[in-house]
Amino acid sequence: MNSRAYWGAALAALIFLLVQLGALALVPTFDAAGYQTIEDPSDPTNSLLYIGAILVMTALMLAAFKYNLDQVVRGIIVLTSGMLAWYVFSVVAPPIVAVGLAALVSLALLVYPEWYVIDTAGVLMGAGAAGLFGISFGLLPAVVLLALLAVYDAISVYGTEHMLDLAEGVMDLNIPVVLVIPLTLSYSLLDDRVAETTGSDSDTATDGSGKDASTESKDEAVETSSTETATDESRGEAVSPDAVDRDAFFIGLGDAVMPTVMVASAAFFLDAGNLGLAVLPALNLAALLAMVGTFLGLGVLLWLVMKGRAHAGLPLLNGGAIGGYLLGAVLSGVSLIEALGLGPYL
Strand residue runs (E) in 118-196: 178-182
Q: Which residue has the higher pLDDT, 220 or 183?
A: 183
- pLDDT 10s digits, 174-202: 999 999 999 888 899 988 877 766 665 55
pLDDT: which is higher, 242 or 329: 329
Q: Rounded to whole angstroms, what are the CA distances from 234 to 103, 135, 166?
A: 37, 39, 14
3-class DSSP assignment, residue 339 = helix
Q: What is the pLDDT of residues 50-108, one digit of tens each?
A: 999 999 999 999 999 989 999 999 999 999 999 999 999 999 999 999 999 999 999 99
Domain boundaries of the chain, sorted by first residue: 3-194+225-345
Percentage of the chain with pLDDT > 90? 65
User: Which of the pair, 3 or 317, is modelled with greater confidence?
Assistant: 317
CB 292 within 8 A of CB 37: no
pLDDT confidence of residue 285: 97
Whether residue 177 contacts residue 252, with contact meaning beta carbons closer than 8 Å, is answered with yes
Half-sphere exposure of 97 (CA within 13 A, CB side): 7
Q: What is the pTM of this model?
A: 0.86
pLDDT value at residue 165:
77
For residue 113, is pLDDT > 80?
Answer: yes
